[in-house]
Structure formats: structure tokens, C-alpha cells
Copies of this chain bind each other. A is one copy, B any other.
Amino acid sequence: MNFSELGKFFDEHDNYLILTHKNPDGDTLGCGFALCSYLREIGKKVNVVNNDNFPARYDFLYEGYEPLDIEYETVIAVDIADTQLLGDGLSEYAKEGCIDLCIDHHISNKFYAKQTYLDGEASAACLVLYEFLKSCNANISNHVAKCLYTGIATDTGCFKFENTTPKAHMAAAELMTYDIDFARINRLMFDIKSQGRLAVEQAVLSNIEYYSDGQCAMIVLTKELMESCGVEEAEFDGLASMPLQIAGVRIGITVKQRDTDVFKLSVRTAEGVDACEFCAYFNGGGHIRAAGCEIVGSLEDVKAKVIAHVEKTLEH
């Protein structure tokens, strides 16, 4: 599918339902609501849905949004590589033939939709949509600009990560000229933390363990520790990147207790250490810089096994 075919698709269809992925982030929501705004502006009837409703954190993306009364004829999935990511609440759309169009940037896309516009090199689904809108000289409203900027910024860690491209910067350069308070968006997305999250980070920081002369840092999240924080489970998301952010650390390990004697390891590594290989030793897998595995045993046994394997790995 190319952009002109995508434009033709929008011309020829109406009564849209836009699906966004579960545990929604700025990119799936930004892309969903930008597309919704754009299609409504050109006279179409459109709604957006999510398995987990719309989190308060992204309120500014759906200010003024009201679902319409629509008999859906066209279903679009945005930023969804696989129908499993729809979530239980939207699993009815996982059946073959239910989704008419998918707009995505994940090279792992499963091509489950009848038609797919995929740019596996784009930093964000929002960047794909931005480039489509530019290709057809579409009017970009302030709201669409705000949604697109948010998706590009959040998926690139505010232009920090390896997946940032010159095109992502070029898009940001234009989108910030609209009436969007990009600095406020970035504060909300990257700086503001809940009191609960701070309690979690405090608990984690006070329990970091160092091994192999500080080349390995380990966080252990026991059920007891997690309960003592008294916060929602979601506040524990994204901690796995913390140990590797410590100067000198080459293997960062987060050990999360799943059950009395079951522990889930999330391993992150710096250049020169293969996280996937590390986890394969414990029958896990993943990527070269981020991998995981599950180990059964008492916490003491699990830690002893992991530390021994850390030492062996760092010897090489």
C-alpha cells in the first residue's frame, strides 16, 4: 500500500472505528486521535476505542472528544503489530477479516489486516500518519499536531533513543510551529511522577545490590517489598531500565517475584554483553540488549545462580 492508495481508502470508506493497543501509550493514542480528528474534519464519522479506556495521563489528547453514534463499517488498527495487543475487551476484532486497515511502524507486524500501511523504519506510527498527511497536503489542525508530536516524542524517548531518525526531528520541527505547548507535553510525558511511583523508586534505590566490582547492578522486587509500597501494579512498570543507568554497570538485572519460589528476570546490557545469551542460559530469550527468563527456586538460590552466571559472563 502506498500513500495514494491510503488516501483513496479514506475517500472510499466511512463510519470508522479506530482500534488502539492495550496498555496504551502516546503513540497509539496520538495516532488514533490524530486520525480521528483528521477524518472527522473531512466529514467522516469516526470513534476511537481502547481495551483499557483512556488513561488520565493522556487527557490532553482527547479533550473535547465525544464518541458518536455510529454503525461501524470500517475498522482501522493503529500502532498494533499483532491482534493479541488488542486486549481481551477488543478481542472480537482479532478474528480474521475484521480489521480493514492497519497503520503501523513495527517490523514485526503480522499483516492480520485486509490492508496494511507499514513503514518499519519510522520512529512512530504518528510519524507514518504525519508523512501521509504531508503527502496529500492535508490540513493539519492544532489538535492533530499535538497528537502527532506526542506520539513521535514518546516513542523516541523525546528524541533520545536509537530509533530517532532525521525524519522524526524534521516532523517535530514543523509540528511545534502549531499552537501546541510541546514543553508542557514533554513535562507531562517525561518529568511528572506520581507520589506512588516515587515511593517505588525510593524502595528500589535503597535496595540496589552491586556485584562484580559494580559492573552488575541488581534490583530485587519481592512481593513483600511491592506490597509495602502500597501502590498500583502499574507503578512498577519500566523499572528494568534503572540498573543499567548506573555509571559503570554493564549488566542490569531486575528480579521480580511472581510466586513464592518463582522469579522473573529482566536483563539489560551495555555494549559487549549479550542479554539474550545471558538469559538463554536460564532457558529465556529476547534481544541483544534486553532479554528475560524465569527461574524457579528460593530467592537465595536464584540470586546465587544469577550472580555466578554474571561473574562467568563478565570474565569473557
Contact = CB atoms under 8 A, between A and B. Distances in A.
Contact of A193 (B191, B192, B246): B246
Contact of A246 (B159, B161, B192): B192
Contacts of A108: none
A158 B191 CA distance: 13
A68 interface: no
Per assembly, the copies of the chain total 2
A98 interface: no
Interface stretch (A5-13, A71-79, A88-96, A197-205): A197-205
A2 interface: no
A161 to B, nearest CB: 6
A176 B162 CA distance: 11
A166 interface: yes
Interface residues of A, number: 39
Interface in A163-213: 164-167, 169-170, 172-174, 176-177, 182-183, 186-187, 190-195, 198, 201-202, 205-206, 208, 210
Given A192-B247, A245-B191, A173 B169 contact: yes
Interface in A5-52: none
A156 B174 CA distance: 17
A214 interface: yes
A214 B202 CA distance: 18
A316 interface: no
A160 interface: yes
23 contacts: A158-B159, A159-B159, A160-B191, A161-B186, A162-B183, A164-B182, A165-B176, A166-B176, A167-B173, A169-B172, A170-B170, A170-B173, A173-B173, A192-B246, A192-B247, A193-B246, A193-B247, A195-B214, A195-B246, A195-B248, A198-B205, A198-B246, A202-B206
